[in-house]
A and B are shown apart, each in its own frame.
Chain A
Amino acid sequence: MSAVLEVRDLSVALPAGGDRRRAVERVSFNVERGEIVCLVGESGSGKSVIAQALMGLLPPALPVTGGSILLEGEDVVKLRPERLRELRATRMSMVFQEPMTALNPVMTCGAQIDEVLRQHTRLAPGERRAKILDIVHEVALPDPERIVASYPHQLSGGQRQRIVIAMALVLEPVLLIADEPTTALDVTTQAQILKLIQELQARHGMGVLFITHDFGVVAEIAHRVAVLRLGEMVELGAKIEVLMRPQHFYTRMLIAAVPKVHPQGRSADASAPLVLETRGLSKTYVDRGWFSGRRAVNAADDVTLEVRRGQTLGIVGESGSGKSTVARCIVRLIDPSGGQIRLGGEDIATRSRAALRPLRRKVQIVFQDPYRSLNPRRTVGEAIIEGPRNYGLSRREALERARRLMELVRMDPGVLNRYPHQFSGGQRQRICIARALAMEPELLIADEAVSALDVSVQAQVLALFEEIRARLNLAMLFITHDLRVAAQVCDYVAVMSHGRIVEQGPALQVFGGPRHEYTRALFAAAPGRDFAFGAG
């Protein structure tokens, strides 16, 4: 075996006052030539810190305090800065999570790849150009001449990630470090990028350290898996071993928390009373430039759907499919351009703000980002009682209700006087749910409400949504890009693409035998769909 990378007892310090002493604690692993090793962990596990340590890119606040990082036998930790710079992009390269921001917006893509060549080679301009076009072609970008002359903002997220990969691989490094390279991408794009990384890895025989939080991705791409928890490595082994027969309790918990792709067959009562019904709902954004003329975008087009009491309708789609637009129209945060929104039989699509007010209470929404949807300068108690107080409840009654709801969402009612920053992401999302429920709504909308959460926390919050729906007999509209999440909680599913619903029906039917081409493509792209986690 020839190890490209050998990490031995690596420790990285955290600044004083952190939640633990070290970001990374005596971690050891190898990456062999021609091998993909997945580093898996939840947020705060230290996986990105390890990636940055390998590249020598750690900020001064996080110094390496012990151990060694041998890249083809050379210890990165002890290298002079000049030598380290020589190694970057030539022997080891990195691909980052956010393709939208990882490229310099004011430089053409070609120039950004060219920088690598100018820095590390003595090629003539013509040779450099040929090499750039070659690598752009190799990462399967169409029309390399045009792509090379484009600025990042002119490309899609997937195309940008291909540029970053091209930049990383143009000098054929022996080690590629990929830090959550597909997390910010849509599922179909993710599948393409994963395939590309696998192909390039096989063709060039390099070692890949692939960092992810998603076991679906691990199942798809890894040869070996290392599991990190709070800076320590708890498990390391071949993919099949770790995914099918996890040894450590933490790995078992993580794998158990991965939502199943197959929906649980819950019989939904088709005669339950209708809570929400949209008929031909549409939203058109008109971009009226000064001179460019009118440009209309149909964010939602002829959307017709129903949600009944005690049932959950999932809207599934990729970014830009219009699923959030539909949610915002239903809550009337934005005004629809056409169609009807019938709430308990009354059309609210065109009601004035004042006439809408009594009905606002009936529809509540929980948003994606628990870190930003609570006012940081108000206690969570104030956040929860503000709504009911606006609808005439006395402070004492509202607080009483807030305490009951905190118990419902499994939080200690005694913490109502604390501020949002004192809670974790999962706790905040529970608080957001309590806030929504405080209005005693008939319809609860969850707009990507579990997308920002770690998989173990996600499983808990999903279970909470289920429990609340059943206990309060609520109608729920669950918006998500994640098929597994939809499978877990939805009775009915509507699949959206380009503002339209392309397929709609009972979850069992849609997941069991998707009819529309787009739905099938979406299912085929879901990472790890054929993998029976923990089945061994």
Chain B
Amino acid sequence: MYKFIARRLLSTIPVLVIVAVLVFLLLRLTPGDPAAILAGDAASRDQIAQIRISLGLDKPIIVQFGIWVSHILRGDLGESFYFKIKVTDLIAQRLEPTLALASFTLVIAVLVSVPLGVIAAWRFGGWFDRALMGFSVLGFSIPVFVLAYILIWIVSLKLGWLPVQGYKRIGDGFWPFLRHLILPSITLSVIYIALIARVTRASMIEALGEDYIRTARAKGLPESRVLIAHALANAAVPIVTVIGIGVALLIGGVVVTESVYAIPGLGRLTVDAVLARDFPTIQGVILFFSFVYVVVNLLIDLSYVIFDPRIRY
């Protein structure tokens, strides 16, 4: 088990190296000069060249890459061109809103989708099942920003129940913090509800066809226990897997959601950094996301041991 964890952590290294190389090259190959953006519209050619030298962008790409990597190995992601502070500090500052948004979204998604999927599978082919499948197609198809504006218009503008946008730190009080997170989390969770409910349903339908379900019913157990203790417990592995995939996709989701709701998190930071051609920040954030992704996947694999005693590492 520990050897498995160690091996998996070691295997993250090549993944991160490939991500680092790709991100570094991609940024340098795409048009757009960070120096020109920093210098502003009125800058002269000399001023821009000056800035370029100060950022180290005049050096050959291979040298730039060497410097960047040697910094990373010391735990330093460099200094942001635009914000003028260390990228690690920048990520630390922006982490809380994203973490809060992502966890809220996941909690809502799981709490809503799993029961929906279980009931749909139990009443397979019935009206509830068909309605859920219809909703699921809708949930997949509707773009996050469209849904966001619809919800803002109804809940915030017409009904006035929740703030339109913005973010309050948890340190500023739990209620304001919560109020600002409800709409973004619901918006973001819809697609995951659709996804997880679908997988839960499919996985449950399969489990409900198994012989041990008949055994459980023959024991005289109530239907709720048959569904949860027997069917859902056996359907758990695919569900957990798709939740894990959901976490990975969430990284993309927060970018849009944070922009629409003006939440100062990592997603918003990514957008700002891209617009400003802030190379160190983009590289840093993407490396950070990749690392999170790999760790989440590892945690998912490890969780299988809890859900299925036949799995051993």
Q: Which positions in A face B, CB cutoff 8 Å?
A: 55, 57, 84-90, 93-94, 96, 98, 101-107, 115-116, 119-120, 151, 153, 164, 167-168, 290-291
| Chain B residue nearest in CB terms to A93 | B218
- B220:A87 contact, CB within 8 angstroms: yes
Residues on A with C-beta less than 8 A from B234 are: 104-106
In the complex the two chains form, what is the Cα distance from A346 to B13 in whole Å?
Answer: 53
The 5 closest A-B pairs by CB, nearest first: A88-B220, A101-B211, A104-B212, A85-B220, A94-B218
Which of the residues B214, B221, B222 comes within 8 Å of A96, measured between beta carbons? Answer: B214
A184 to chain B, nearest CB (A): 11
- A290:B7 contact, CB within 8 angstroms: yes
In the complex the two chains form, what is the Cα distance from A291 to B221 in whole Å?
Answer: 41
8 sampled A-B residue pairs with Cβ under 8 A: A86-B220, A88-B218, A90-B220, A101-B211, A120-B220, A168-B218, A290-B4, A291-B3
| Chain A residue nearest in CB terms to B211 | A101
Contact with A along B220-264 (1 / 0, CB 8 A): 111001000110011010000000000000000000000000000
Q: Decide if the interface of chain B is mainly helix, strand, loop or mixed.
A: helix
Residues on A with C-beta less than 8 A from B211 are: 96, 98, 101-102
Residues on A with C-beta less than 8 A from B70 are: none
| Chain A residue nearest in CB terms to B213 | A104
- A-binding segment of B58-66, B156-164, B280-288, B304-312: B304-312
If A88-B218, A94-B218, A115-B219 touch, whether A107 touches B210 (CB-CB below 8 Å) is: no
| Chain A residue nearest in CB terms to B307 | A106
In the complex the two chains form, what is the Cα distance from A453 to B36 in whole Å?
Answer: 81
Which of the residues B7, B215, B216, B308 comes within 8 Å of A106, measured between beta carbons? Answer: B308
Other A-B pairs, 12, CB within 8 Å; known A115-B216, A291-B4: A55-B218, A57-B214, A86-B220, A104-B216, A105-B308, A106-B309, A115-B229, A116-B220, A151-B310, A153-B309, A164-B215, A290-B3
| Chain B residue nearest in CB terms to A291 | B3
Residues on A with C-beta less than 8 A from B236 are: 106
A37 to chain B, nearest CB (A): 19
Q: Which positions in B face A, CB cutoff 8 Å?
A: 3-4, 7, 210-212, 214-222, 225, 229-230, 233-234, 236, 307-310
A191 to chain B, nearest CB (A): 23
Residues on B with C-beta less than 8 A from A84 are: 220
A152 to chain B, nearest CB (A): 9
- A107:B218 contact, CB within 8 angstroms: no
Which of the residues A102, A168, A290 comes within 8 Å of B212, measured between beta carbons? Answer: A102
Which of the residues A57, A86, A151, A153 comes within 8 Å of B218, measured between beta carbons? Answer: A57
- B222:A85 contact, CB within 8 angstroms: yes
In the complex the two chains form, what is the Cα distance from A88 to B309 in whole Å?
Answer: 28
B154 to chain A, nearest CB (A): 41
| Chain A residue nearest in CB terms to B234 | A106
| Chain B residue nearest in CB terms to A94 | B218
A206 to chain B, nearest CB (A): 16
A66 to chain B, nearest CB (A): 24
B205 to chain A, nearest CB (A): 14
Residues on A with C-beta less than 8 A from B7 are: 290
- A119:B307 contact, CB within 8 angstroms: no
- B215:A107 contact, CB within 8 angstroms: no
Which of the residues A57, A88, A90, A104 comes within 8 Å of B230, measured between beta carbons? Answer: A104
If A102-B212, A102-B215, A151-B309 touch, whether A107 touches B229 (CB-CB below 8 Å) is: yes
A99 to chain B, nearest CB (A): 9
| Chain A residue nearest in CB terms to B215 | A102
If A88-B220, A96-B214, A153-B310 touch, whether A107 touches B3 (CB-CB below 8 Å) is: no
- A116:B219 contact, CB within 8 angstroms: yes
Residues on A with C-beta less than 8 A from B214 are: 57, 96, 102
B200 to chain A, nearest CB (A): 16
In the complex the two chains form, what is the Cα distance from A101 to B214 in whole Å?
Answer: 10
- A119:B220 contact, CB within 8 angstroms: yes
Residues on B with C-beta less than 8 A from A55 are: 218
